Structure 1
Amino acid sequence: MTTIIKQLKAWEILDSRGRPTVKARCELESRAVGIVSVPSGASTGAAEAHELRDNDPARYRGLGCRKAVANINGEINTALAGRLLASQQELDTILIELDATANKSRLGANAILAVSLAFARAVSQERQYPLYQHFADMQELPLRTLPRPTINLFSGGKHAGGQVDIQDVLLVPAAAQTMDEALAVTFAVYQSASELTFKKYGTRSLTADEGGLAPPFPDTETMLADAVETIEQAGYVAGKDVMLAIDVASSHFYQDKLYHLDHEQLSSAAMIERLGNWLSRYPLVSIEDGLAEDDWNNWPDLYARIGSQTLVLGDDFLCTNPGRIQRAIANQAANALLLKVNQIGTLSEAAQSCQLARSANWRVTISARSGETEDNWLADLAVGWAGDQIKIGSITHGERLAKYNRLLEIEADTHLPLIAWPTDGSQNNHS
């Protein structure tokens, strides 16, 4: 593949929280065009690539992205327009070298990622290939399955104003054979949850950043118990038809080497035991960020305690960063990667992170962010990169549904099966 960029153009748009983000257009000499919007996170890891914001308190409370947009329209366009490029890797290498910082803070990871993705979409148009096929070809992967969705049911933490400490309880429609069936099952459970929360807490179906319901749970235990109850009220068997996953997001309640959870102060060892207790009582097939991102010494103990029964999934802990992933592999600290492309800033680096995880026989969950747009490229990425799971959010809000509806479209076009669950030969049975 060789191609020439004719022009790059960008502008500021708003994400699903009403905050600014970046949209970019890449036009090739062949007249193929790729237009992409990039997301933004709320629960962000300290090691994430740096989003460039304007820091003008008089406009969007400093969150504007005009500087990032100007960098695309100016310096990045000047460097790339008219340039013959042989691959996505070559483009991304130029962007990284042009920025010349460790965390992409000069040009902005939001600017760099927008160009990286827009170029990929333009090249897929030039090749007249679906975007998912182009992504698969980038990693020389066959198209075999669709990722199984993990779908927000209840939210807390930074996604929902902190009314409960942990961030999300998610549904995993484990018995579903198709994406269509998985979403139908989720709809039934979500409606059951809406009815339960209204009856139990008097709350209407008001939702958090990613569409999860957010009633005033008194503690995490109640949140998990209510999730199981809603599954059963919808007519399914918890632990067989539908499993649960949790995003603990422990970094956000970790202070002075203690976990401030449910009005208690827990040591790392006590936090591990708490997670193990939840695992023994609830059908949890994935536990994300069970410990804080900097609690490195205790992640191997967490993995030793629960790793044979569930996915020990790293988000803030790993930040889709090849260096952190390599360290976690060496330390036997996890067995799954939550892959967020904007945590690292280019497609090529995200592909490297994905390949590293695969080399250790880890599972990979392709994830959206709390601040999303109506763009659906994430669905194509999860299919093309053979994601085991995809984490988009709930089945409400248009920016979430854009990705689910794209998965349904890909399913209709390709007839790819939904990946089997569990994928690692282990299962935490609850019935």
Structure 2
Amino acid sequence: MNSITSLTALEILDSRGWPTIKTTCTLADGTRASASIPSGRSTGAAEACELRDGDPARYRGKGCRQAVANVNTTLHEALRTTAFASQQELDQALIALDGSPNKQRLGANALLSVSIAFARAIAAQQKRPLHEYFSYLIREQAYQPTRFPRLTINLFSGGRHAGKQVAIQDVLIVPSAARSIDESLVMMNDIYHAAADRTFARYGMRLLTADEGGLAPPFEDSEAMLQAAVAAIESAGWQPGRDVHLALDIAASHFYRDGRYLLDDRRLSPLEMIDHLSDWCRRYPIVSLEDGLAEDDWQHWPLLQQALGEKILILGDDLLCTNPERIRRAIDSRACNGLLLKVNQIGTLSEAAAARSLAKAAGWQVTISVRSGETEDNWAADLAVGWAADQFKNGSITQSERLAKYNRLLEIEAQRPLPIVDWPLV
């Protein structure tokens, strides 16, 4: 049994300069650990509530003082001296203390900060790496991770991550020929700098980057992003479709209006949107589509899965929101074949683990993802290893909040040289 003696929280800034929350958990034996929580810009309507202050005079209403206060008072007072036999027991107590359907009373950001800080404290108490503790939580690997995830790395950004200069949100690089994390990052470095050189030559602009570190030149349309990605791969000396593939984050909810998809200068019906995505997949080396349709377009997701699901990953992000109820609905309707797992969409580690288990039981792939508003905290890298993620989506290879996770993966790989998972459909 592990007793919490203190919970203290602090408002800090994320990678976009907006507030988020950092919590420190102290156990009865004096073990202490902290965790910082990310925040998303492209958020699904069904995500757990991220509590913000709403004061327009401070951080334009996005302050987190109330969430901090909820940790320092409500959660500290309720949980101190309480002994917990497991992570699930602690997380169930957090959910009960909040008592609202979507964690709006205390805030999912407050609850998750306690959940992860407690996990890190227990791992430290047990003198285990955090990824081993995470592995134990899913009770599949007896503390021993067996592989690394395949990386999907941001190259170009549009949508809400880059001022909406084009409709789709991200074009990501999949170094599918790489046999290690180190080799994946070497390949990506070649491709990133080839893309940067071509961006300067084509647009005469310096390296302006988007929320997750991707390059964001003023492309004429979304397809120009795909063409530029393929050209960068070739310029770096790799063969598209053999050595390197593409993954797309469409984020279609953000350009869905009145039953139509406003894709750049096109106004497409759902069936036309599926045809358009299918055409891209025929002409470009695409292995994954994330949120190819809007989060509430349940009628047409099964048709997208039927059209492309045997060839590529059809990932649900806004559609699923790491929410077990929505995942069950998607499994029953055969709406997709992959879960994009973001822990802060649901609010506690145990609930995220349950979402992962549902997806894996259905035969789905699981991509663990960070958010656009990240911190230098690297726990997401340990989570991707410990939970045997099939893919890890962490943004580009620039900016310290991204590098903290990649560097943590390199550190784990140096200590434990495990194989990297093969891409399932390549």
TM-score by length of 2: 0.99
Q: Is the 8 A contact 1:319 1:340 kept in 2?
A: yes
- State the alpha-carbon separation in 1 of the partners of residues 221 and 37 from structure 2: 34
1:346-384 CA-partner distances (Å, limit 9, x unpaired): 000000000000000100000000000000000000000
Two-structure CA RMSD over aligned residues (Å) = 0.6
1:286 alignment partner, SS class? strand
Pairing of 1:232-381 with structure 2 (within 5 A): 232-381=234-383
User: Would you say 1:145 and 2:147 are equivalent positions?
Assistant: yes
User: Would you say 1:80 and 2:79 are equivalent positions?
Assistant: yes
1:245-296 CA-partner distances (Å, limit 9, x unpaired): 0000000000101000021110000000000000000011100000000000
**Corresponding residue for residue 53 of structure 1:** 52
Amino acid at match of 1:152: N
User: Would you say 1:165 and 2:135 are equivalent positions?
Assistant: no
Amino acid at match of 1:14: L
Unaligned runs of 5+ in 2: none
- State the alpha-carbon separation in 2 of the partners of residues 298 and 269 from structure 1: 8
- State the alpha-carbon separation in 2 of the partners of residues 349 and 268 from structure 1: 32
Cα deviation for residue 418 of structure 1 reads 1.0
User: Would you say 1:217 and 2:222 are equivalent positions?
Assistant: no
Cα deviation for residue 203 of structure 1 reads 1.7
Amino acid at match of 1:41: G
**Corresponding residue for residue 14 of structure 2:** 15
User: Would you say 1:101 and 2:100 are equivalent positions?
Assistant: yes
Cα deviation for residue 141 of structure 1 reads 2.4
Identity of matched residues, %? 60
Cα deviation for residue 140 of structure 1 reads 1.3
1:224-248 CA-partner distances (Å, limit 9, x unpaired): 0110000000000001111000000
1:405 alignment partner, SS class? helix
1:165 alignment partner, SS class? coil
Unaligned runs of 5+ in 1: none
TM-score by length of 1: 0.98
- State the alpha-carbon separation in 2 of the partners of residues 359 and 30 from structure 1: 38
- State the alpha-carbon separation in 2 of the partners of residues 306 and 30 from structure 1: 53
- State the alpha-carbon separation in 1 of the partners of residues 205 and 310 from structure 2: 38
- State the alpha-carbon separation in 2 of the partners of residues 90 and 230 from structure 1: 49
2:105 alignment partner, SS class? coil
Q: Is the 8 A contact 1:141 1:384 kept in 2?
A: no
Amino acid at match of 2:193: Q
**Corresponding residue for residue 386 of structure 2:** 384
- State the alpha-carbon separation in 1 of the partners of residues 140 and 397 from structure 2: 29
**Corresponding residue for residue 121 of structure 2:** 122
Amino acid at match of 1:63: K
Cα deviation for residue 10 of structure 1 reads 0.2
- State the alpha-carbon separation in 2 of the partners of residues 89 and 262 from structure 1: 45
User: Would you say 1:187 and 2:184 are equivalent positions?
Assistant: no
Cα deviation for residue 86 of structure 1 reads 0.5
1:300 alignment partner, SS class? helix
Say how many residue pairs are matched.
423
Runs of 4+, deviation exceeding 2 Å: none
**Corresponding residue for residue 27 of structure 1:** 26
- State the alpha-carbon separation in 2 of the partners of residues 33 and 317 from structure 1: 37
Amino acid at match of 1:321: N
Cα deviation for residue 221 of structure 1 reads 1.2
